[in-house]
């Protein structure tokens, strides 16, 4: 079937199988910043924004996002022009292996879009679906708080 979807503000028409996961369709189309971790919605490595809200792309059938808006980490920034959130994560040592980082950045992006001055508790809650097994969480929270002071 044909999937018409807007990815990072650009319209795409993709050939998909109705049973395909959104995660696989995005990676197949070159958006490899979307990572597969657990594959069952627990780790958050596959998080993308669906109409601005973080969701687990490993749990979603790609067919479901027909005519909707997807944002991946590639739509937030890149090595030549990183987003301030990405710079803050790097500066504060919030990135080690980097595998879970795209999901965490997207969750942070969504949070700050809706709530530019979140409390510590709101930051922790916004990241509750993004597991990180090497950096931990303290550095990420410090990175996000550093953005609030600017």
Partner 1 sequence: MARLIANLERYHQPVSLAEIQSLFDQTSNKIKILSGGTSLAFNRPDVSDVIDISGLPFKGCRRNVTGDLEIGALTTVGDLEEMPEVKQYANGILRQTTDKLASTPLRNLITIGGNILCGYYWADLPVALISLDAQIRLDNDPSKTFYMDDESRRGKPIKIADQSILTHIILPQKRSEYRSAFNKFARTTVDFSIVSVAISFVLDGQVIQDSRVVCGGIVPFPQRITAAEAVLDGERPDAKLFEKAGTIAAESIQIRPDSRAGAQYRKTVLAEMVKTVSFSALKESRNEA
Residue 131: which region, alpha, beta or left (left: phi > 0; alpha: psi -120 to 50)?
beta
Tokens of 78: 């890149």
Give the shortest CB-6-to-partner 1 separation in angstroms.
17
Specify the residue, 70 or 126, whose C-beta has the smaller distance to partner 1: 126
Specify the residue, 86 or 104, whose C-beta has the smaller distance to partner 1: 104
Specify the residue, 17 or 133, whose C-beta has the smaller distance to partner 1: 17
Distance CA 104, CA 101 (A): 5
Distance CA 7, CA 114 (A): 20
Give the shortest CB-79-to-partner 1 separation in angstroms.
26
Q: What residues are paired with 6 via a beta bridge?
A: 11, 69
Contacts with partner 1, residue ranges (CB under 8 A): 1, 17-21, 24, 28, 39-42, 44, 47, 50, 53-56, 58-61, 63-64, 66, 107, 125-129
């Amino acid at each position: 079937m044909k999937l018409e979807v807007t990815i990072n503000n650009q319209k795409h028409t993709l050939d998909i199988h109705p049973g395909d996961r959104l995660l696989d369709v995005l990676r197949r189309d070159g958006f490899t910043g979307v990572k597969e971790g657990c594959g069952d919605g627990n780790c958050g490595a596959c998080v993308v924004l669906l109409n601005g809200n973080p969701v687990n792309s490993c749990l979603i059938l790609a067919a479901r996002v027909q005519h909707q808006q997807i944002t991946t980490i590639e739509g937030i920034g890149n090595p030549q022009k990183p987003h301030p959130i990405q710079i803050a994560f790097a500066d504060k040592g919030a990135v080690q292996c980097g595998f879970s980082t795209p999901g965490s950045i997207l969750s942070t992006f969504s949070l700050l879009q809706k709530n530019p001055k979140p409390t510590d508790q709101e930051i922790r809650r916004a990241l509750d679906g993004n597991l990180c097994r090497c950096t931990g969480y303290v550095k990420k929270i410090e990175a996000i708080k550093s953005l609030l002071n600017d």
